[in-house]
Amino acid sequence: MNWVKVKFLDKQRKTKLSKKGRFCEFVHQAMVDNREIIINRRNINCEGARIAFGWQRDFYDFEQKFSSNNKVNISLIDGVLKNIQASNTKNIKSIILNGEEADVVVSFALPKDVMEISRLYFVHTGEILKTKLRPFLSICLQTVVAWETDYPTVSCGCKDSRLYAGIKNEELIVAFPYSMYKKILKGNIV
């Protein structure tokens, strides 16, 4: 498995990126190129990622599109997004992928890898790994949730992340707090 380190900064960092993209695209690029990428609100063009990182407080358009495309009642989406917004207490200004330091690591995993991760988690903690599957904001939100809760997350991947990050049908997204990754997974999971 290729793991991408993710560091959330409360300070603005300059980026060399000239193009705009989605967080999931940048994660994929960092995974493939194995190089550092600095991103901030100016080069993220995905409304879902901007919401997940607290960079967009108005999510009316997102709700309308999601409701229309997925035939979901807007009030359901609104409740989830307001909960996300309320829990996003950290002030993210920039994000570094594959830098020296990390808060979280993220990877695309086969179910057998997720099973091994859950086994290793159980062996080290004595607890069963629990996760919530969310119907949207997969890589971006899962990474923030893993950071804020200091607890691993697993996602099936939203439609856009699967497309833009090249996530295969059989892969899941795993985000792990970096300190836990070093203790439990590093060297134990390929």
Of the chain, the end-to-end C-alpha distance in Å amounts to: 5
Locate 132 and state its tokens.
Answer: 């919530």
Q: Which amino acid is at 59?
A: F
Cβ within 8 Å of residue 15, ≥6 positions away? 37, 38, 39, 40, 42, 43, 94
Q: Which of 84, 77, 34, 37 is nearest to 56 (CA)?
A: 84
Secondary structure letter of residue 44 according to DSSP: B
Query: Is-above-0.85 flag for pTM?
Result: yes
pLDDT string in tens for the chain (190-residue length): 899 999 999 998 888 777 899 999 999 999 999 999 999 989 999 888 888 898 888 877 878 887 787 787 888 777 777 766 655 656 899 999 999 999 999 999 999 999 999 999 999 999 999 988 776 678 898 899 899 889 999 988 888 888 899 999 999 999 999 999 999 988 776 5
